[in-house]
Structures are given as structure tokens and as C-alpha cells.
């Protein structure tokens, strides 16, 4: 073990200076974020004044809600909450694991559903979904408990006698979304409009023959088949041509890529302040609750795994990156909870400042643990540990902070880093050896924003 010879007093002075430096940096970042939001609001108001002759649909009410949403969604903690909720299970030839973490947000607004074996004669079917709430968690929580019932119990889904057909399932999913949205609207009105929250939803309904991908909003799901991304859902953003056309037809506008300059998604459950345009149906409103549903025939030989995740994951990792990273992790461990935890941790270190939730569903042909991959992983961890020790020793007088260590490693060509995750996926290993070699460290230095890490 490596010991330091400095006196405790000197160590305290260094730690105090580091803590004050990090607090100044955090204060500057908050001020910058505030100025950015104020600028966006000034631009939005200016454009609204210029377009004053156009139709206005409950403008004052929507504007007030928009500002409240911006305040809520723009608030961050001083340091991320990294405690995780985990679950795993298996059945119907599937294995799944999930992980969710609050991260930098002041509240945890994500929710999820994982059900293997559905009622009413659908024991061989399974359902998984991630709900990304905004402006509150009420809609996300309600959907995670009741959406599946609304889907499987409506007549469009049941169809005639026997197992539902592909068209029955697709129509039933759409009907279930519209039904639960209307049901939540009625409940909200009974509470005098107290709930203004909303939620995206991404899920899969897996039958013995088909996989049905369901998406409403900007959470995303993908299917890895034969080691490649075979399918992924399309995000519903206000700037998408078809979404923008619907918004404008409903009397709204798309500014700074948001509905009325505020809401960043064009489809969602809840968000009823955006669904009050008279003369328009539920799928023609500023924000639509209608999901897109895609049916994909299963391939026992080639299907490997499905990933469902909120935009806190996709903000910092692309489809191919996440697919490659998960595949590499499955080659070193068969613990799906651990794989999901590595995904959310890596995304946090890559700079995600949102809540993060991910569900990993593995088919029988998913990648298996490889002794060669395990050996390479162990060698990489030992190499990183030795390099951290060398960097600290090289510093001489004083201990470099963790940011300096990470930046030094990032500038080097380190072989065998996990694809997609790269050095960020190894921060836990690096931090562990750094803390062991620096027992007098101050905990405040660990909360450094990932914006400064690279």
C-alpha cells in the first residue's frame, strides 16, 4: 500500500481549498443554467407577442404551467443520488433485470413495469415498460400499475374467441393508451386540475411468436438481433415534421424544439393542459397520448436482448453504443441487475443529469459469459489500478484530485476499454483505488459534476 507523509494540517488545508473550488464551480454552472433559461423565456415571449393575431388556446393557463415545468425540470441537487432500485426475474424463456436511479434531479419521477405471465389465458406472454415522468411522478406511477390492465381488458385487444391476432393486439394497445389517458383526465378534473404531470412510455409486449414495441414520447426501446441493432423506436419530438404539423393544426407552436417553448415531447400520457383544444380529438391535441406500435416476428436463433430506457440514458449513449456496451457486459457477467447498474452509472459519468431507468430483457440466445472476456476485464482493472497509483506518485507534493486523474487517463490510449462505455464505465474502479490511496480525501470532491470530469 502507498502511504503519504504529509501532516494532517496540510491535508486539511488542501481539502478545504478543493471544496471551496468545487463549490465555486457549481455556483457558476447554476448561474449559467439560470441565464440560459431566462434567455429562452425572453425569446418565447417575444415570439408570442409577434404572433398575437393567431388563435390562442388557454394561453395563460398553458404558459403558467410551462413556467412551472421549467422550474421543476431545471432544478438539480448538489450531488447525485446514486442509490439504485433493482429487480430481476425469469420465465417464458426470458430473463430480465432492471435498474433505476434518481441521479442529479431533485425528485425521482421514473416508474417501470415487469410482468412475466399475463392473466386471462396469456400465461406465455410478458410485458415490460419504462415510464419517464415530468412535472411530477403521479402519471408515471399510475401507468405502471394500471396501463397493462387497460390494454388487455379492452374489447379491441380481446377480439373474438381464442388468442388475439396481431391486429387485435396493436389496436388493443392503442385503445388502452387512450382509455387510461381519458381515465386519468377525469380523475384530475375531480381533483380540480391539481395534477399537471405527464409521462412518456416505452414498452414491449412479448408473445410466443411476436414482440410488440410500444412507444409514446422520447423514451426508447431497441432489439439486438445477431449482435446488431435490428430495430429501435422513434422518439416523438415536437420538431419532427408530422408532430409539428399536428401541434400547429391545434393552434400551438414549436419553439426551441419544444411545444409552446416548454414541453420537450410531443406525445405523452397526462399533460392535460396541452389537451384542451375544442373541436380536436385526443390524437389531434398539442400533445397526443397515441402510441406507435410495431410488431416484429420473433427469431429464436438470432434474437439476443431488448433494452428499454428513458431519455436520461439515450441523452448520452447512442443505439449502437448502448447495444455494444450491454453485449460486452453480458460476456463478463450473467447478473442482469449488475449489467443495468453499470449502464446507469456509466451514463451518469458520461454527463446525464436526468433520472435514469433501464430494463434489460434477454432471450435464450443472449451473449454468454466468456472466460476470455473475463480475463481481459481483470487485466484491464489491474492496469487501471496501477496507472492511478503511478499518477498519484508522480504528483509528488500534494495529491491530485480525481478530476486530474480521470483527465490524465482519458488522454491516454488505453486498450480493451468496454465499447460504448469507454473510460466512463471504469470510473468506479478508478475511484475505488484513488480512495484507497488517498484516505484523507474530502467527500465533497467526489460530487464534482461530470461536466468537469473530462
Residue 221 class from Cβ within 10 Å (0-12 exposed, 13-18 middle, 19+ buried)? buried
Residue 383 pLDDT > 90: yes
Count the alpha carbons within 13 Å of 381 in the hemisphere toward its beta carbon.
13
For the stretch 274-320, pLDDT in tens is: 999 999 999 999 999 999 999 999 999 999 999 999 999 999 999 99
Number of C-beta neighbours around residue 314 at 10 A: 22
CA distance 276 to 57: 8
User: How confident is the model at residue 29, as a pLDDT?
Assistant: 67
Contact in structure between 405 and 391 (CB atoms under 8 Å): yes
CA distance 433 to 392: 11
pLDDT confidence bin for 119, thresholds 50/70/90: confident
Range in 44-53, 72-81, 359-368, 426-435 with the lowest mean pLDDT = 44-53
pLDDT confidence bin for 52, thresholds 50/70/90: very low
Q: Which helix (H) or strand (E) holds 201?
A: strand 198-206
**214: Cβ contacts below 8 Å, ≥ 6 apart:** 129, 173, 201, 202, 203, 204, 205, 291, 292, 293
Residue with cell 482493472: 381
pLDDT confidence bin for 155, thresholds 50/70/90: very high
Cell of 136: 411530477
For the stretch 329-353, pLDDT in tens is: 999 999 999 999 999 999 999 999 9
Q: How large is the average pLDDT for residues 34-62?
A: 56
Residue 430 pLDDT > 60: yes
Range in 190-199, 236-245, 381-390, 408-417 with the lowest mean pLDDT = 190-199
How is 321-363 classified by DSSP, letter by letter? Answer: HHHHHHHHHHTT---HHHHHHHHHHHHHHTT--S-EEEEEEE-
- Phi and psi (nearest 5°) for 448? -55, 135
Cell of 445: 470532491
DSSP code, position 369: -
Q: Hey, what domains does the chain have and what are their CATH numbers?
A: 1-53+370-454 (1.10.10.430), 80-362 (3.60.40.10)
Paired with 118 in beta bridges are 122
Residue 2 pLDDT > 90: no
Q: How large is the average pLDDT for residues 187-214?
A: 90
Contact in structure between 81 and 103 (CB atoms under 8 Å): yes
Decide: helix, strand or coil at residue 412.
Answer: coil
CA distance 191 to 388: 57
User: How confident is the model at residue 14, as a pLDDT?
Assistant: 44
pLDDT confidence bin for 196, thresholds 50/70/90: confident
Q: Give me the percent of the chain exceeding a pLDDT of 90.
A: 71
Range in 66-70, 104-108, 271-275, 398-402 with the lowest mean pLDDT = 66-70
User: How confident is the model at residue 55, as a pLDDT?
Assistant: 40
- Phi and psi (nearest 5°) for 307? -120, 130
Decide: helix, strand or coil at residue 375.
Answer: helix
Residue 451 pLDDT > 60: no
Higher pLDDT, 451 or 240: 240
Can you give the C-alpha Rg of the chain in angstroms? Answer: 24
Decide: helix, strand or coil at residue 384.
Answer: helix
Q: Which of 109, 185, 201 is nearest to 147 (CA)?
A: 201
Cell of 290: 397515441
CA distance 355 to 140: 13
Higher pLDDT, 404 or 163: 404
User: How confident is the model at residue 393, as a pLDDT?
Assistant: 86
H and E: helices and strands count for the chain: 12, 14
Cell of 118: 399475463
Distance set, CA 381 to CA 100, 392, 416 (Å): 25, 17, 10
Q: Provide the mean pLDDT of the chain.
A: 86
Amino acid at each position: 500500500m502507498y502511504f503519504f507523509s504529509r501532516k494532517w494540517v496540510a491535508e486539511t488545508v488542501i481539502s478545504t481549498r478543493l471544496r471551496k473550488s468545487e463549490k465555486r464551480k457549481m455556483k457558476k454552472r447554476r448561474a449559467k443554467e439560470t441565464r440560459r433559461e431566462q434567455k429562452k423565456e425572453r425569446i418565447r415571449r417575444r415570439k408570442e407577442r409577434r404572433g398575437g393575431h393567431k388563435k390562442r388556446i388557454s394561453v395563460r393557463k398553458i404558459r403558467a404551467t410551462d413556467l412551472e415545468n421549467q422550474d421543476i425540470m431545471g432544478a438539480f441537487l448538489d450531488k447525485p443520488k446514486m442509490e439504485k432500485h433493482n429487480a430481476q426475474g425469469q420465465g417464458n424463456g426470458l430473463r430480465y433485470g432492471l435498474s433505476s436511479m434518481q441521479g442529479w434531479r431533485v425528485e425521482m419521477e421514473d416508474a417501470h413495469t415487469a410482468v412475466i405471465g399475463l392473466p386471462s389465458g396469456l400465461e406465455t406472454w410478458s410485458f415490460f415498460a419504462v415510464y419517464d415522468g415530468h412535472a411530477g411522478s403521479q402519471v408515471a406511477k399510475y401507468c405502471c400499475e394500471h396501463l397493462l390492465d387497460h390494454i388487455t381488458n379492452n374489447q379491441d385487444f380481446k377480439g373474438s374467441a381464442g388468442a388475439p391476432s396481431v391486429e387485435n393486439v396493436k389496436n388493443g394497445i392503442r385503445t388502452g393508451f387512450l382509455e387510461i389517458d381519458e381515465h386519468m383526465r377525469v380523475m384530475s378534473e375531480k381533483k380540480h386540475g391539481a395534477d399537471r404531470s405527464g409521462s412518456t412510455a416505452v414498452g414491449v409486449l412479448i408473445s410466443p411468436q411476436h414482440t410488440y414495441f410500444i412507444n409514446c414520447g422520447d423514451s426508447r426501446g431497441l432489439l439486438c438481433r445477431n449482435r446488431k441493432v435490428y430495430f429501435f423506436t422513434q422518439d416523438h419530438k415536437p420538431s419532427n415534421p408530422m408532430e409539428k404539423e399536428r401541434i400547429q393544426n391545434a393552434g400551438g407552436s414549436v419553439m426551441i424544439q419544444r411545444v409552446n417553448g416548454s414541453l420537450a415531447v410531443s406525445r405523452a400520457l397526462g399533460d392535460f393542459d396541452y389537451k384542451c383544444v375544442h373541436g380536436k380529438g385526443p390524437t389531434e391535441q398539442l400533445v397526443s397520448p397515441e402510441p406507435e406500435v410495431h410488431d416484429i416476428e420473433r427469431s429464436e436463433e438470432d434474437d439476443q436482448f431488448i433494452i428499454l430506457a428513458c431519455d436520461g440514458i439515450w441523452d448520452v449513449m447512442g443505439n449502437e453504443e448502448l447495444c455494444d456496451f450491454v453485449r460486452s457486459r453480458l460476456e463478463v457477467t450473467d447478473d442482469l441487475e449488475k449489467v443495468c447498474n453499470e449502464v446507469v452509472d456509466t451514463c451518469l459519468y458520461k454527463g446525464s443529469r436526468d433520472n435514469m431507468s433501464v430494463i434489460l430483457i434477454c432471450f435464450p440466445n443472449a451473449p454468454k459469459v466468456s472466460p476470455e472476456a473475463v480475463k481481459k476485464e481483470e487485466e484491464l482493472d489491474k492496469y487501471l489500478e496501477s496507472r492511478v497509483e503511478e499518477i498519484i506518485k508522480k504528483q509528488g507534493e500534494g495529491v491530485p484530485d480525481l478530476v486530474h486523474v480521470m483527465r490524465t487517463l482519458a488522454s491516454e490510449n488505453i486498450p480493451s476499454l468496454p465499447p460504448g462505455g469507454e473510460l466512463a464505465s471504469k470510473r468506479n474502479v478508478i475511484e475505488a483505488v484513488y480512495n484507497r490511496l488517498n484516505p484523507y480525501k474530502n467527500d465533497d470532491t467526489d460530487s464534482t459534476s461530470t461536466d468537469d470530469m473530462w
